[in-house]
Chain A
């Protein structure tokens, strides 16, 4: 599985877009980029995933660079409930997930 690197923490003003970067320079061609978040004392929650193309769902957008070495998760209008630790994971479907250290996002009122 690809090793991922994320900034340890970020702040974002409520209502503004939160842009969370992830470096996965060793990702292989058939590994997806998955994003999860974990709110304190809960299990991780799926957000979005992608292979090559940018993706959007009701929660977020995922921008993957053309060389697939990095990606950015975008929460378009951050709310206080988006305060969590966000994990970026590179993995093949069906393989186990190895979590990195993630980014602790704090949404500020």
Chain B
């Protein structure tokens, strides 16, 4: 079945630094990937839609200059949290769909970001 790999699973960074999270579709190509953020005891919140070869589409209220998304190939999308602050500490999850499938999306295992 379709597998989405996310790396790293956990990361701790200092306030003011940038962190890159990778999302890879391992056995299929994905022209579109999605990035979510989840705070403790809350639901997943869609941040942006990552489009291969073009600019990402951000949801209302999400700062595109803070959360940089690059989708340079059909199997890789990256989310960079720039100038991270403690309030950016969260669980970040990506998803992708194997083309032509109605099975919905496959999700990565998530990245726990802690900014200290």
Chain A residues at the B interface, C-beta cutoff of 8 Å:
32, 34, 36, 38, 41-46, 49, 87, 89, 91, 93-94, 96-102
Contacts and interface: CB of A to CB of B under 8 A. Distances in A.
A97 B36 CA distance: 10
B43 A97 contact: no
B102 A97 contact: no
B106 A97 contact: no
Given A32-B104, A49-B102, A102-B43, A42 B110 contact: yes
A41 B46 CA distance: 17
8 contacts: A41-B91, A42-B110, A43-B108, A44-B93, A49-B103, A91-B104, A97-B95, A99-B45
Contacts, number: 58
Contacts of A97: 34, 46, 95, 104-105
A87 B42 CA distance: 12
Interface string B75-116: 000000000000000010101010001111111111010000
